[in-house]
Amino acid sequence: MSGGLHRPVLLEEVVDALAIRPDGLYVDGTYGRGGHAREILRRLGEQGRLLVMDRDPEAIAAAQTEHGGDDRVTIIHDEYARLDSHLEELGLQQRVDGLLLDLGVSSPQLDDAARGFSFQSSGPLDMRMNPQRGVSAADWLMSADEQEIGEVLWRLGEEKYARRIARRIVERRLEEPLRDTRQLAELIRDCVPAGREKKHPATRSFQAIRIRINRELEQLQQLLDSLFRILRIGGRVAIISFHSLEDRLVKRFLRKESTPPALPRGLPLRESERDLKQRLRPIGKAIKPAGDEIEGNPRARSAVLRVAERIA
């Protein structure tokens, strides 16, 4: 979730963590409106190369406008989970010096009511990061059964009233189609008892539906599974998460790939065998935005940056 058109989240922390070489090859898998990519490119020399990806056609249009004339930049309209395939086509597998993912929904997507991500204003209930592909939120809510909707709201949104909301959605759609964001938000508000939370009652449900519609956890897992076909040895990956489930996936993956195997004491092993499963080295601890960044950009408050370097 980039924190605004001109305020990408954790900008300096990201570019410093990637340890950018002027002649290196870097990938921004979630271009958004290009705040991180712009700074990476500024640090590259004439021999450097930057691949930018996004599945949102509006983000790709913005990239073409800003970087279409720069020979150092390759622009790819696709989901970052397919990065490995594109690198293979370009002959660049295992040659990437740095990979950035800024997960979640971007501010331009949130702020555009026509995209259907926000309950703050009335708009079509879409939520697709690429409106040209897949099933919209409205269509999914009209076809999924009550159990599936409830499970999504509970598992992806940790919504305590998931079953109640799911039941009301199914009842409501028998009366009229759910096609508008405000219509859904008001339905959810009626299902959730008034409490002390500052968040809007629909926050968790909208988040869960968006994650389900865009297969965000599956996309992230697919990218992590292909990471060692992407990075060169010495290359770094930097991932900004905004959701506990995403951060948990990243954290567990980095821990698994950076922890030496448990071996019986006294067992004679060659050095190469000792490091067999230790393929990543974490770079520092998890980084969160400082207070001044959160004050200037409240959407950054839940951001967590994790960085690792490939060592084998």
* Superfamily of domain covering 130-213: Putative methyltransferase TM0872, insert domain (1.10.150.170)
Give me the residue spans of the domains in the chain: 11-108+216-310, 130-213
**Which pLDDT value is given to residue 227?**
98
Per-residue pLDDT in tens (0 to 9) along the chain, 312 residues: 443 345 799 999 999 999 999 999 999 999 998 999 999 999 999 999 999 999 999 999 999 999 999 999 999 999 999 999 999 999 999 999 999 999 988 888 888 898 999 988 899 999 999 999 999 999 999 999 999 999 999 999 999 999 999 999 999 999 999 999 999 999 999 999 987 667 899 999 999 999 999 999 999 999 999 999 999 999 999 999 999 999 999 999 999 999 887 666 666 656 555 555 799 999 999 999 999 998 888 888 899 999 999 998
The pTM assigned to this predicted structure is 0.90
Torsion angle (degrees, nearest 10) of CA 280, 285, 286, 287 = -120
Long-range contacts of 144-152 (CB under 8 A, 24+ apart): 145/170, 146/170, 152/208, 152/209, 152/212
**Which pLDDT value is given to residue 196?**
62
**Which pLDDT value is given to residue 187?**
97
Both tokens of residue 89?
A: 């086509």
3-state secondary structure 12-61: HHHHHHCCCCCCCEEEECCCCCCHHHHHHHHCCCCCCEEEEEECCHHHHH
**Which pLDDT value is given to residue 263?**
63
Name the strands in the sheet holding 280-282, side by side, starting at the edge strand that comes first in the sequence. 73-77, 49-54, 25-28, 96-102, 231-241, 304-310, 280-282
**Which pLDDT value is given to residue 1?**
47
Q: Give the C-alpha separation, 252 to 237, whole Å.
A: 15
3-state secondary structure 226-250: CHHHCEEEEEEEEEEECCHHHHHHH
Q: Which distant-in-sequence residues (6+ apart) come within 8 Å of 272 by Cβ?
A: none
**Which pLDDT value is given to residue 4?**
38
CA-based torsion, 15, 231, 41, 294: positive or negative: negative
* Superfamily of domain covering 11-108+216-310: Vaccinia Virus protein VP39 (3.40.50.150)
Burial of 164 (0-12, 13-18, 19+ CB in 10 A): middle
